Structure 1
Amino acid sequence: MSTQPTVILVHGAFADSASWNGVIADLTGRGFPVIAAANPLRGLAADAASVKALAQSVDGPVVLVGHSYGGAVISNAAVDQANVKALVYIAGFLPEQGESALELSNKFPGSTLGDTLRTVAQPDGNTDFYVRQELFRNQFAADVPADQAALMAATQRPVTEAALTEGSGAPAWHTVPAWSLIPTGDKNIPPAAQHFMAQRANATVVEVPDASHAVLVSQPATVATLIATAAA
């Protein structure tokens, strides 16, 4: 039985659990039990409840890791969850109570995501957002090989407009230690916004020069090393 904390990885919008594959391989090589959660991307409170239930099912300490919108999810999922020992944000949102992902991404200039989106109306009245496949690599994964970025574009999971505009509950980073990895070439969440959120949360920050929003795919060893540091 492993003595290491279990790492739960939470993907963000326009991605899926496979986006963590390189990170998973690295972490399991270091002896960490790993679970890549299937983030529903339907609504912040509901998504957080799903991840919280997963964390509650784990015996022993947990490190929650969130990419992009997944950062908002782990901020809410870890509230009153005693076995969560650390929060790690990978190009992620660290919202304060009442803030939404959309609000935070627009707080500082630099995001070009809005111009790349394709919308699909859903029968329940909600709207799904996708990144247009022909624009995906430049917007989301500029430092990922073209063939791999094309696969990511084709398999991306949509996020609802409701999820991106729903305000956060009181976040766990007020009481749980936080780490934030900030890719300076991020075109989805401006690095200035990520620094603002990380500083406010008193997070330990690691910058990755020129890396894209998909830094978990392009530089998995760097991401895994930060997670291992947070888990220590």
Structure 2
Amino acid sequence: MKISRVFTAVLAMLMTVAAGLIFGSGAAVAGPKPTVVLVHGAFADATSWDGVAADLRSRGYRVVVPDNPLRGPAYDASVIEKTVADIDGPVVLVGHSYGGAVITNVHDPKVQSLVYIAAFGPVEGEPVQITIDPIRFPGSQLLPPALGLRIVDDPHAIGGKNVDGYVTDEYFHSVFAQDVSDETAATMLAHQKSAALWANLELGGPPSWANTPSWYLVAGEDRVIPASAQRFMANRMGANTSELPTSHASLVSQPGAVADVIVAAAHG
């Protein structure tokens, strides 16, 4: 009888240990959550991601929001690559608008997925300007007088000067972010960063989306990059695609929905 009780106790202990190993190995396979790197686009700075970053952090994600110089895809991608290189573990790389052209030129094996938010996703040898061709994709309102030009100091340019584009004050709200409040639009305008014209004309390199799973969130009411152009690029890259009826600034007007797409990419 005593032997039987001992045998039963040992068997129960072994079953408990086995169960722990099974469930423990399952948790180990899941691994840590990836770090999310948010790359802003032209006519914005890192604060444009504030709402999305706060949402993701509340869900337990580590979020990094680097400054995008807005000088050209190759140079800007090299800056973002340095950010990614300093991160341990897998990365979800997210780009808004011109930031999509930047992440398309970032190549690092730690990047497990790419997310495009109303963003450019060029093929090799294609400048982003082509993908807002008004004949194929009519509807962009980012034209003079909404688009202004100015000479800026730029240590990366020949002669230390460059020609930058920006959205003029009187058109910023109606063209760039028509679905946010006046107060929010004023804050965004105060944080606007101009972008080198060359950034729209530089030829892209081999696209990272060609061998990395990608997600694309189309802004259906976009007045900067027409939704038809966004759908074209998303289809071309074979991205997991969804759509919201938002302005170009969906990351500001709908941060929770944008965060949902990023979380889907993290799980994917």
Range class of TM-score, shorter chain: over 0.9
Q: CA deviation at 1:43?
A: 1.4
Q: CA deviation at 1:153?
A: 1.1
- SS state of the match for residue 9, structure 1? strand
Match of 1:117 among 141, 147, 161: 147
RMSD: 1.1
Write the distance in 1 (CA, Å) between the matches of 2:201 and 2:143. Answer: 14
Which residue does the alignment assign to 1:214? 249
Which residue does the alignment assign to 2:89? 60
Write the distance in 2 (CA, Å) between the matches of 1:105 and 1:153. Answer: 23
CA offsets per residue over residues 185-205 of structure 1, 9 Å max, x none?
001101111011100100011
* Structure 1: runs of 5+ lacking an equivalent: none
Which residue does the alignment assign to 1:197? 233
* Structure 2: runs of 5+ lacking an equivalent: 1-30, 154-159
Name the amino acid aligned to 2:67: A
Which residue does the alignment assign to 1:88? 115
Judge which range, 4-13 or 160-169, deviates more: 160-169
Match of 2:263 among 225, 228, 231: 228
Write the distance in 2 (CA, Å) between the matches of 1:155 and 1:133. Answer: 12
Query: What's the TM-score once normalised by structure 2's chain length?
Result: 0.83
Query: What's the TM-score once normalised by structure 1's chain length?
Result: 0.96
Name the amino acid aligned to 2:131: L
Instruction: Check whether the contact 1:11–1:70 (CA below 8 A) recurs between aligned residues.
Output: yes
- Give the structure with higher Rg (CA): 2
- SS state of the match for residue 25, structure 1? helix
Residue 188 (str. 1) matches residue 188 (str. 2): no
Write the distance in 1 (CA, Å) between the matches of 2:152 and 2:189. Answer: 20
CA offsets per residue over residues 10-67 of structure 1, 9 Å max, x none?
0000001000000011000110000011000011100000001111110000000000
Instruction: Check whether the contact 1:133–1:154 (CA below 8 A) recurs between aligned residues.
Output: no
Q: CA deviation at 1:155?
A: 1.7
Which has the higher relative contact order, 1 or 2, with Cα contacts under 8 A spaced 6 or more apart?
A: 1
Which residue does the alignment assign to 1:103? 130
Name the amino acid aligned to 1:221: G
Name the amino acid aligned to 2:100: G
Match of 1:35 among 43, 55, 64: 64
